[in-house]
Structure 1
């Protein structure tokens, strides 16, 4: 059987980029059981309530929903169990130092297969205030309108 190449996205946490200022990101492997991998290969997962924490020199992923495999038997997994993330010691130490600062948290941004192995992209994030969210929405809308105006001018329309 041929080895898988490239990346295959499974789930994204779009709300995290809206709710948090993203400072730094890391790619981590995940320790999974067989039925979780089969469920992920079907493209079924949700990162909405997920977060990560450093505990005892290890990083754990909490509240990520990987539904039970439909054809699984008594060996099926719990859908919201905590899962260990695979990072090297230097990365874990750096993450632990930054998370110990006030206001920072670890959030999963996306879950994907890379060369046949399940990976998660986690980010060091700081929560946005309501006015920051409004400001980023207004900025995105202004950029969209600017791009549309440029496209209209290139096509020869008058404003």
Structure 2
């Protein structure tokens, strides 16, 4: 998470397995009424989410925010498209990268920072199967080293 870390709400762990993350940016999310209450309760799922650029603005698609239990008629559509708040330069940079091809924009984390919901989005390039196996091997080796150091002490 960037400087001034907030309270981590949700994390897309599968994204780091499926993709190589080239660059990350923190963005605010435009939310409706009860959505922030659901997020604070941890009822958000980033698993199938992605971000896209439309009319020079960044949007978050397919991120599920569960309806708030006590929200009755004021509840929202769980899978609605949500606008991301970013600087124009950042959006232009991501637009250029995506237009070149081979990359996509995925949400990595959602957290609360200074009372506001923030999402960490990453510019991602898909991994091949052998890259995924290499990642698993590295993670296992790291775990074995940690275990050996723990036993050594």
Deviation, 1:148, is 2.7
Residue of structure 2 equivalent to 1:80: 79
Task: Judge conservation of contact 1:6–1:115 (CA < 8 Å) in 2.
Answer: no
Query: Which ranges of structure 1 fall in alignment gaps of 5 or more residues?
Result: none
State whether structure 2 residue 39 is matched by structure 1 residue 40. Answer: yes
| Correspondences of 1:19-98 after superposition (within 5 Å) | 19-98=18-97
Deviation, 1:100, is 1.0
CA distance in structure 2 between the aligned counterparts of 1:9 and 1:143, rounded to whole angstroms:
24
**Which entry has the higher C-alpha Rg, 1 or 2?**
1
Aligned length: 150
Normalising by structure 1, we get a TM-score of 0.89
Following TM superposition, the consecutive aligned residue runs of length 4 or more in structure 1 with deviations greater than 4 angstroms are: none
Query: Which ranges of structure 2 fall in alignment gaps of 5 or more residues?
Result: none
Residue of structure 2 equivalent to 1:113: 112
Q: Please give the secondary structure, in 1, of the residue aligned with 2:34.
A: helix
Normalising by structure 2, we get a TM-score of 0.93
CA RMSD of aligned residues (A): 1.4
